[in-house]
Amino acid sequence: MRSPRRLLNSILFLLLFIVIGLPFVPLILSSVSFGWQWPNVLPDSFSFRAWEYVLADSSGTWSAVGTSLLVAFIVTAVNLLLAVPAANALVRNSFRGKWLMEAIIFAPIVIPPFVAVMGIHLTFLRLGLTETILGVVLAHISPTLPYMVRAIMISYNTLSVDWENQARMLGAGPISRFVHVVLPHLLPGIAAGASLSILISLSQYLITFIIGSGQVVTLPILLFPFISGGDPAIASAFSLLYAGIAVLTLLGMDLALKKYYQNKKAATAKG
Amino acid sequence: MSDLRIINIEKQYPQTKQQKDPAFSLQPVALTIKEGEFFSLLGPSGCGKTTLLKLIAGLIPADNGEIWVGDDHLTAVAPEARRFAMVFQQSLLFPHMTVEDNVAFGLKMQKISKRERLADAQSMLEHVGLGGYGSRFPDELSGGQQQRVALARALVAKPRLLLMDEPFSALDPSLREEMRELLRSVQKEFHVTVLFVTHDREEAFYLSDRIGVMSEGRLLQIGKPKEIYEQPVNVEVASFLGLKNIIRGTVANNHFISNDQSFEFPIQSSIQTSQSVLIIRPETIRPVSENMVEILGCVYFKGVIHHKIFSHGYYSVKVRIGEHLLICNFTSQEAEKMNPEQPIDLMINSEDMRFVNG
């Protein structure tokens, strides 16, 4: 009974490794190679030239990482402020034209963001929002918001109005109800939505490029020229850095959430 | 004096296209509940009792009418500011808080210091028999315990009115009786005014000082349990209270004649011709033994035993009289020698017969 299960587990693990882990091997090799040409299986010689370039101050990597994270976190915070009331309204109420509202909110998932951004670009030019972080943040909201709303809607679906009514009958006003009853229930949905929002914002190239006009430099903006024909070693190093930042951010969020729950348990266990 | 006064409160639900049945409406209800009274709203599911409860709580806005407690006009006051408490069918304990924090929640909302509110919560938990459970989480408790916590949580802030919406209906019968006992003693101890909604007759009769019987959005009768049981105002109330001996007939010349003419006897002149339905409580019917002297003011019938069933310490015997099957409750002694198809003589004190409008 046990051994087939173990076998299945190891097969699945292997599959996972091939799909996710394996592509990183040539990436790592490429990032430390010096002239790696066909038909060689392994690079001729190794050098840390690419990493030296990427990690040096002069390349602007760290400011790009900072900009990427700044944009991603502001976008996520704004999304949160927009998505919670939106999800509340969409789940709790039925009103005329509700399907249209949902269609508009979820449209960016289906329609390529590029289409919308061309229009937005013109407006932003007139408003003077291009080449600014604010403009990029605003442009990033359209492809990220649907995921946030979706995740929080699912949380709202499982929250019966009775809970809020119960809190009301115990004397809780609107703010107390939200903080003590609604928010704890939404938290898993918020965490899921925020992770998606951060990841999607971090990976935007085209929107950032068009709205930022090359002045708002995020990691993908730095990375792209090297991929499309520059230096594959440097592109590999950037890719690895980029993946590392994304994974670290998600891990950080996960840890913060776990810490929150632990503190909650610890606080109540003590008192 | 802080009686709860409900003045002609009313609610109409608009008919929606999807629903074929007519729109539900709660007819104007006028009701005064005294301070410290235990008042039950009794009625079948869907009769509007929960709607009325939520209107009083303020959770749904009323179309018309007013709610007062003593001299406070509460109609326009938000539910959270009414100083009412409510226990729902589900315990609705906040899952991310301990039992203690759950109970103290109402006090926290009143900005009472942490030490004070936890002390209050502790003592309230002891009152409901959950002394050592304060630091547990709700999911570690059984259904009955959860409902005890919900009761403690509702009582801890000393509400002016405790609203209860079928709080024990999700529990199994033995637990329900235990909770009934607990609620009764706690209510007497804290002298809290309770408005209790239930469809369980036994529960309502056991707990209540007064009962309001509801049906289809109307409050049919209000009275002490004994009153509404012995003197139901109409057939609807009687049949909801489980009184199955309902005999339709006509009243004329101080005589009652049932439609199938198997019952015919003189009645008091105070009974109007419109009161043409006779309701007989099963325990008021007695068998006549051979050497019994005829008693003045009693009505006698002849019938045939249809069958007998043993039930909680007495026999429920069905006796066929004309087209009617009369249900009688006899003691085991009385019913011992009764067999199906036997003829039987029955007597009822005419004061125990209730005539209502047909």
Per-residue pLDDT tens over the stretch B234-288 = 898 998 888 889 998 888 888 888 888 888 888 887 888 788 899 999 989 988 8
| Segment B308-331 mean pLDDT | 89
Partnered with residue B327 across adjacent β-strands are: B318
User: What pLDDT sits at residue B292?
Assistant: 75
- Confidence (pLDDT) at B290: 76
Which residues between 92 and 111 in chain B have a beta carbon less than 8 angstroms from any beta carbon of chain A?
A: 92, 94, 96-98, 100-101, 105-106, 109-110
User: From the CB of residue B89, how many other CB atoms can be counted at a distance below 10 Å?
Assistant: 17
The answer to whether the CB atoms of A173 and B109 lie below 8 A apart is yes
Per-residue b or e along A11-20, where b marks 16 or more CB atoms closer than 10 Å to that residue's CB: eeeeeeeeee
Q: Is A94 on the interface with B (CB under 8 A)?
A: no
Give how many domains chain A has, as a whole number.
1
Whether pLDDT at A271 is above 60: no
Amino acid identity, residue A218?
T
CB B357 within 8 A of CB B298: no
All structural domains of chain B with their residue ranges = 4-236, 243-356
Residue A1 has pLDDT above 60, yes or no: no
**Which of A168-182, B3-17, B100-114, B220-234 comes out lowest in average pLDDT?**
B3-17
> Of B80, B96, B154, which has the smallest distance from its Cβ to A168's Cβ?
B80
- Beta-strand ranges (E) seen in B70-205 are 72-73, 84-87, 161-165, 194-198
pLDDT band, very low/low/confident/very high, at B57 (cuts 50, 70, 90): very high
| Res. A167: pLDDT tops 90 | yes
Q: CB distance B80–A184 less than 8 Å?
A: no
Q: Closest residue of A to B152, CA-based? A: A170
Predicted pLDDT of residue A208: 92
Chain B contacts in chain A segment 163-202 (CB below 8 A): 163, 165-173, 176, 180-181, 184
pLDDT at A270 over 50: no
In this structure, what token pair is assigned to residue A209?
């490029």
Cis preceding-peptide flag for A39 (omega within 30 of 0): yes
A169–B109 CB contact, under 8 Å: no
Which of A166, A171, A172 lies nearest to residue B92, judging by beta carbons?
Answer: A166
Question: pLDDT tens digits for A188-214?
Answer: 899 989 999 999 999 999 899 999 988
The amino acid at B63: D
Chain B: closest CA distance from residue A63 (Å): 40
Provide the percentage of residues in chain A whose pLDDT is more than 90: 45
Confidence of residue A268 (pLDDT cuts 50, 70, 90): low
Our CA-based measurement puts residue B245 at a distance from the nearest CA of chain A, in whole angstroms, of 41
Question: Can you give the pLDDT at residue A50?
Answer: 85
What single letter denotes the amino acid at residue B97?
A: M
Q: Helix-strand-coil percent breakdown of chain A, rounded to 5?
A: 80, 0, 20
What is the C-alpha radius of gyration for chain A, rounded to an integer number of angstroms? Answer: 23
pLDDT of the residue at A146: 94
Identical fold for domains B4-236 and B243-356, yes or no, is: no
Tell me which chain A residues have a C-beta less than 8 angstroms from the C-beta of B158: none
Chain mean pLDDT for chain A? 88
Query: pTM for the whole thing?
Result: 0.81
**B184: how many CB neighbours lie within 10 A of its CB?**
15
- Is there a contact between A181 and A167 (Cβ–Cβ < 8 Å)? yes
What is the longest distance spanned by two Cα atoms in chain A? 75
A262 touches chain B (CB under 8 A): no
pLDDT(B53) > 70: yes
What is the H or E stretch that residue B265 is in? strand B264-266
- Residue type at A148 in one-letter notation: M
What domain range is A207 assigned to? 61-217
Helix (H) or strand (E) run with residue A218 in it: none
pLDDT digits (tens, 9 = 90+) for A52-66: 888 887 788 899 999
Looking at the structure, give the CATH architecture of the domain made up of residues B243-356.
Beta Barrel (2.40)
The answer to whether residue A105 is domain-embedded is yes
CA distance A81 to chain B (A): 23
Which residues of B are less than 8 Å from A165 in CB distance? 59, 79, 86, 88
Q: Smallest Cβ distance to B80: which of A163, A172, A271? A: A172
CATH number of residue A172's parent domain:
1.10.3720.10
A interface mutation test: which of B96, B116, B137 has the most A CBs within 10 A?
B96
Average pLDDT of span A65-84 = 95
Q: Is residue A173 part of a domain?
A: yes
Would you say residue A225 lies in a domain? no
Q: Does B77 touch chain A (CB under 8 A)?
A: no
Q: What is the ipTM of this complex?
A: 0.82
Alpha carbon separation from A123 to A74, A92, A127, A139, A204 (Å, rounded): 21, 34, 6, 11, 20
Question: pLDDT tens digit string along A126-154?
Answer: 999 989 999 999 999 989 999 999 999 99
pLDDT attached to residue B216: 87
Q: Nearest C-alpha of chain B: how many angstroms from A168?
A: 5
In this predicted structure, which of A204-208, B259-263, B289-293, B301-305 has the lowest mean pLDDT?
Answer: B289-293
Q: Pairing state of beta strands B38-42 and B210-215?
A: parallel
Give the best residue of A166, A187, A262 to mutate against chain B (max B CB count within 10 A): A166
For residues B83 and B157, is the Cβ–Cβ distance under 8 A? yes
Quickly state the pLDDT bin for B22 (edges 50, 70, 90).
low
User: What would the pLDDT profile of B119-154 be if each residue is shown by its tens digit?
Assistant: 999 999 999 999 889 999 999 999 999 999 999 999
Spell out the SS3 assignment of A144-197. Answer: HHHHHHHHHHHHHHCCCHHHHHHHHHCCCCHHHHHHHHHHHHHHHHHHHHHHHH
Cβ proximity of B322 and B303 under 8 Å:
no
**Own/partner long-range contacts of B307-315 (Cβ < 8 Å, ≥24 apart):** B307/B340, B308/B335, B308/B338, B308/B340
CB contact under 8 Å between A163 and B92, yes or no, is yes
Contact A268 B105 (CB under 8 A): no
A92 touching B (Cβ < 8 Å): no
Task: Using a CB–CB cutoff of 8 Å, tell me whether B112 touches chain A.
Answer: no
Query: Which homologous superfamily does the CATH classification assign to the domain defined by B4-236?
Result: P-loop containing nucleotide triphosphate hydrolases (3.40.50.300)
